[in-house]
Chains A and B, each alone.
Chain A
């Protein structure tokens, strides 16, 4: 089967932009948000972020690209895991974590589609942002359960992951909304 050059080009562009956004969100999270979090909640010893922006990137990428987001996010997610774990990224639990991170959001959208609720963007239809937040919640709960299973984390981390994911998704969308408002105001 010959894959048209335009499709390859599109996949490369998608992979580059989605992975770069994921990695940027992850680094901001790790280098900026987590230190601030530790400053304000020193008694909270878990490494889970309470404002996990990468979840927002995952959910929005899955909403826009569907299953293609799995491939598009893979390099970014792998590099993010490598950033934290170094060579231990190749341990089975980390590889499972990478797999969960890239598949959980498109799986949640696909699950809903099979149930008759298709949220995929379409011309001529206004998207439902609350629905996307709800899919984000489903993906987060499922992802947290599976991740905790893979890493054997403490139960408190389970709740921290969900809170962090939802706060991250909401704040990322809020930030995008403000960016688009600013672009409209300055005619970009």
Chain B
């Protein structure tokens, strides 16, 4: 295992602990978007904004809330912009359960 993946595994462990201790910091919209992104990214490893907005979990979220939550997820490190594929594509981090 590389040094980077060791750090990723450590981050995942701490996220699991954070969740169990009830210290999770995601709003309901952020959580729904994150779960939808995790599901969509399972096949390709990344997710596109347009595909994400069509997901059943996200369909009821208004556009402004969606983009605010998306930005917040990037700031909190749950998603990051996919550098190789241009704008509107994100890589999902850490939580695979």
Contact = CB atoms under 8 A, between A and B. Distances in A.
Interface of A: 10, 13, 60, 63-65, 121, 123-130, 132, 173-174, 176-177, 180-181, 183-185, 187
Interface of B: 1-3, 5-6, 9-18, 20-21, 23, 25, 75-78, 95-97
B1 A180 contact: no
List the 8 shortest-distance A-B pairs measured between CB atoms, nearest first: A121-B9, A126-B97, A184-B77, A177-B14, A127-B13, A129-B17, A184-B76, A180-B14
A8 to B, nearest CB: 14
Contact of B6 (A64, A124, A129): A64
A133 B11 CA distance: 16
A65 to B, nearest CB: 8
B interface, over-half SS: helix
Given A60-B10, A64-B6, A64-B10, A124 B16 contact: no
Contact of B77 (A10, A128, A129, A183): A183
A181 B20 CA distance: 15
Contact of B13 (A10, A129, A184, A187): A129
A123 B5 contact: yes
B97 A180 contact: no
B75 A132 contact: no
9 contacts: A10-B2, A10-B3, A63-B13, A65-B1, A65-B6, A121-B12, A181-B23, A184-B75, A184-B77
Give the interface centre of B17, B21, B76 by most chain A CB atoms within 10 Å. B17
